[in-house]
């Protein structure tokens, strides 16, 4: 298998991180409504929303250690697969509190993706180019965070006569 250049790897990681964060925020505008229909109270909805970020923060140190021990590529692939599988749980008809577990798994996976991406960039680029390379990963993250929710159009309200409000 041919080796990728540092720039090719950076481009791939930038796309992966951008898509992952776009997917992470894609459903956020509708998640409270979804959870409300699963009998979620405001406090449960807040717990589910926050669990993604808490899990991501809480697990990054451990995932950094695993990336050093087992390799960044393996961690990245396993985290992407885990994130995708956790995302499929929204298809199940379960009560709202269970989605806190889903969001924890997604958040931990997102944290692992960030750690693997950043450590790959740190090892691939010399110090003189590292800041610019890291900024591409962070820009992809922010781009995904910003673009994800904009793809969801809010439900439209109509009057009984069919006119939009």
At 148, the pLDDT band (50, 70, 90 cuts) reads: confident
Q: What is the pLDDT of residue 150?
A: 77
With b for 16 or more beta-carbon neighbours within 10 A and e for fewer, the 78-102 pattern comes to bbbebbeebbeeeeeeeebbebbeb
Tens-digit pLDDT profile for residues 69-109: 999 999 999 999 999 999 999 999 999 999 999 999 999 99
pTM greater than 0.85: no
CB 105 within 8 A of CB 55: yes
Tens-digit pLDDT profile for residues 39-52: 899 999 999 999 99
Give the integer Cα–Cα distance in Å for 9 and 45. Answer: 38
DSSP assignment of 14-62 equals: HHHHHHHHHHHHHTTTTHHHHHHTTT--HHHHHHHHHHHHHHHHHHHHH
- Residue 26 Cα distances to 5, 144, 147, 148, 152, angstroms: 31, 9, 8, 4, 7
């Amino acid at each position: 298998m041919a080796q990728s250049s540092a720039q090719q790897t950076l481009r791939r990681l930038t796309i992966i991180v951008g898509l992952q964060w776009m997917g992470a925020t894609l459903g956020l505008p509708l998640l409270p409504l979804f959870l409300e229909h699963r009998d979620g109270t405001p406090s449960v909805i807040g717990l589910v929303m926050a669990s993604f970020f808490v899990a991501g923060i809480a697990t990054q140190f451990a995932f950094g250690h695993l990336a050093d021990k087992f390799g960044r590529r393996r961690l990245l692939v396993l985290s992407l697969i885990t994130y995708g599988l956790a995302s499929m749980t929204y298809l199940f008809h379960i009560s709202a509190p269970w989605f806190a577990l889903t969001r924890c798994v997604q958040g931990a996976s997102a944290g692992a993706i960030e750690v693997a991406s950043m450590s790959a960039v740190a090892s691939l680029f010399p110090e003189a180019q590292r800041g610019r390379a890291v900024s591409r990963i962070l820009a992809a993250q922010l781009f995904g965070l910003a673009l994800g929710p904009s793809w969801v159009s809010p439900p439209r309200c109509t009057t009984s006569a069919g006119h939009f409000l």
